[in-house]
Amino acid sequence: MEIRELTCIRCPIGCQLTVTVDGDNVKVEGNNCPRGAEYGAKEVTNPTRIVTSSVRVEGGELPLVSVKTATDIPKDKIFDVMEEIHTLTVKAPVHTGDVLIRGVAGTDSDIVATKTVL
């Protein structure tokens, strides 16, 4: 049996969660809403994250454009995603929402621009 203490990040309350994993059984305590129970269970069984970074821009009004994953990715893929992002250079213009990498690092998530660079 494993017991983990977490702070929920699904809303500003920041409930202190106790998550108990016993085989396939996951029990979450301390949450004030169903979102906390969902977060606690997911965080100990399949943690994911949104990744934010920046990409070099050639010929743009700015040298970099901010980017993020379109959806959360498995936490163990973060370094692979960052490696792929850091090898990329795009040509201006880049618009908010442009997909710069499809299926980054073998995930189902894309890298999208979060700023326009003309």
pLDDT, tens only, 41-69: 999 999 999 999 999 999 999 999 999 99
Helix (H) or strand (E) holding 26: strand 25-29
From residue 90, give the alpha-carbon distance in Å to each of 33, 41, 54, 72. Answer: 43, 38, 11, 23
- Which amino acid is residue 37, in one-letter code? A
Task: Characterize the bridge pairing of strands 2-7 and 25-29.
Answer: unpaired
pLDDT given at position 97: 98
Residue-number span of the structural domain to which 67 is assigned: 52-113
The percent of residues above 70 in pLDDT, for the chain, comes to 100
Could you tell me if residue 107 is inside a domain?
A: yes
The answer to whether residues 61 and 78 belong to one domain is yes
pLDDT given at position 81: 98
The answer to whether residues 41 and 94 belong to one domain is no
Phi, psi of 105 (to 5 degrees): 50, 35
pTM over 0.75: yes
